[in-house]
A = this chain, B = another copy of it.
Amino acid sequence: MATLKDIAQALDLSVMAVSKALRDASDISAATKARVQEEARRINYVPNQSARNLRSHQSRLFGVVVPNVNNTYYSNLVWGIERQAEVMGYQILLAHSLDQGDCEIAEVRRLLARQVEGVLLVPAVRWQNRFMTLELLRQSGIPVVMLDRYPAGAEQFQQASWVVCRDQYGAELATRHLLELGHREILHLCGPNGSSASAARFGGYRKTMGDSEAGFRDNLVFLAGSDIESGRKAISQAISEKVSFTAVTAFNDLVAVGAADVLQHQGFRIPTDVSLVGFGDGLLAANFRVPLTTIRIPQIELGTAAVRLLEELIRGAAVDPRELPVELVVRYSTARVSPPA
């Protein structure tokens, strides 16, 4: 592999001059720069980032930790992150937490070993110690931006911030939409415990129900999770408990899909018998068996916004967390409540 030294020798220059020429420094003549650049191209010179990094303490590397890229929601975040990072001249190291705290911290440690300049993190929902990762990052002086969710009390970490969507408002929109269609018995299938997004969406549901004539009743709330299977289980439980309902709000599209699956198998028609609202608006929502009414999250923007925040943190600025807007997308899984048979 060619090095600066090779170029320097070929052109009878100092290594320094070559280094500076390639970085377009001001104190190198245009003629020399041209010669150097040509030679560099000729021998296919690729700078050694490890050496550069070691000396300059600039890795131009971001670490990204998501539960799994398998999930479209997270892969959209990663996509947004990578696109924006590339624009700003950074590359990304991708790691998976599997939503487990111990994996998360192990991965962050590995990222730190690579001298990443910042970390983008979808915090694992299950922590043994909620702040361990943030604490480690603080100790290392590495800023972090969380996406999608964040632990309550994260404000105390100066080098941390987060980008989420307006979860509570989104859930309010969803619930209000159902109320306006005449539904009164509306289930809520909660997301995983320990996720601020779950809490916020549940909060939006509870508030809207409480403010309505329907009122909030906690026997209409079921713990699901964030995947299809959890949606199946939750709705099955609701059915087996013989709860009466005409509509369902789900933590996300996958939970909605799982619920829809079971409902249809049990003979409920959607939306004739049961209306259903998802959250997220991934590819699946629009193309599901019955296209889902859902709350649209600007997933890619979540990623790009997070990188922008991270850059500000790196520059030492104090940044406020951001909340991105959401909107209701009405498709075919919701309809006016049908009069009781």
Does B91 contact A114, Cβ atoms closer than 8 Å?
yes
Q: Give the shortest distance, in Å, between A252 (CB) and chain B (any CB).
A: 13
Q: Give the complex CA separation of A169 and B75 in angstroms.
A: 30
Q: Give the complex CA separation of A114 and B53 in angstroms.
A: 10
User: Which of A54, A78, A257, A287: most chain B CB closer than 10 A?
Assistant: A287
Q: Beyond A75-B75, A91-B95, A291-B289, is A82–B69 a contact (Cβ under 8 Å)?
A: yes
Q: Give the complex CA separation of A13 and B89 in angstroms.
A: 40
Q: Give the complex CA separation of A97 and B261 in angstroms.
A: 36
Q: Give the shortest distance, in Å, between A152 (CB) and chain B (any CB).
A: 25
Does B109 contact A94, Cβ atoms closer than 8 Å?
no
Q: Which 6 A-B pairs have the closest CB atoms?
A: A75-B75, A50-B53, A50-B50, A50-B54, A94-B94, A70-B79
A83 CB–B CB distance under 8 Å: yes
A310 CB–B CB distance under 8 Å: no
Kindly identify which residue among B92, B288, B289 contacts A94, using a CB–CB cutoff of 8 Å.
Answer: B92
Does A70 contact B75, Cβ atoms closer than 8 Å?
yes
Contact mask for chain A residues 65-108; partner B; CB cutoff 8 A; 1 contact, 0 none = 00011101001101100110010000111111000000000000
A338 CB–B CB distance under 8 Å: no
Does A49 contact B289, Cβ atoms closer than 8 Å?
no
| Stretch of A19-27, A40-48, A170-178, A189-197 that contacts chain B | A40-48
A1 CB–B CB distance under 8 Å: yes
Residue of B nearest to A258 (CB): B287
Q: Which residues of A contact B (CB under 8 A)?
A: 1, 44, 46-51, 53-54, 59, 64, 68-70, 72, 75-76, 78-79, 82-83, 86, 91-96, 109-110, 112-115, 136, 139-141, 228, 257, 261, 283-284, 287-291
For A257, what are the chain B residues with a Cβ–Cβ distance below 8 Å? Answer: 287
Does A110 contact B91, Cβ atoms closer than 8 Å?
yes
19 contacts between A and B (CB under 8 A): A44-B136, A44-B140, A46-B109, A46-B113, A48-B54, A49-B115, A50-B50, A50-B53, A50-B114, A69-B78, A72-B283, A75-B78, A93-B94, A284-B287, A287-B288, A288-B288, A289-B289, A289-B290, A289-B291
Does B50 contact A59, Cβ atoms closer than 8 Å?
yes
For A110, what are the chain B residues with a Cβ–Cβ distance below 8 Å? Answer: 91
Does A92 contact B91, Cβ atoms closer than 8 Å?
no
